[in-house]
């Protein structure tokens, strides 16, 4: 490896995902994609994240999915509610 070059960091690192969730200029779908990718990586390597981080990722994913569903229902003018 040449001097001055650094290896690329994974998108799924915990600090990157925290920043991904905190910043609002990423769309909800992009955030869901990133969290799902991180959770899939955590399944392959159980030492990648701490238990607290996994809990935070899963709760964030649930909240984002709820937000996406509410947005979809509002855009459809009320159609699509589960009755």
Domain membership of residue 75 (yes or no) is no
CA angle 33, 35, 38 (to 5 degrees): 110
Domain membership of residue 77 (yes or no) is no
Domain ranges, residue 53: 14-68
- Distance between CA atoms of 56 and 82, rounded to whole angstroms? 27
Tens digits of residue pLDDT in 46-68? 999 999 999 999 999 999 999 99
Question: In the chain, how many domains are there?
Answer: 1
Flag whether the pTM goes above 0.75. Answer: no
Q: What are phi and psi of 14, to 5 degrees?
A: -60, -40
Domain membership of residue 73 (yes or no) is no
Domain membership of residue 41 (yes or no) is yes
Based on C-alpha coordinates, what's the Rg of the chain? 16
Domain membership of residue 24 (yes or no) is yes
Tens digits of residue pLDDT in 12-41? 555 665 555 555 678 999 999 999 999 999
């Amino acid at each position: 490896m040449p001097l001055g070059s650094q290896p690329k960091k994974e998108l799924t690192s915990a600090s990157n995902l925290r920043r991904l969730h905190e910043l609002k200029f990423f769309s909800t779908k992009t955030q869901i994609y990133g969290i799902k990718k991180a959770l899939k990586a955590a399944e392959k390597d159980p030492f990648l994240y701490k238990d607290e981080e996994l809990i935070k990722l899963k709760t964030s994913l649930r909240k984002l999915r709820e937000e996406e569903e509410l947005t979809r229902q509002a855009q459809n003018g009320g159609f699509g509610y589960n009755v």
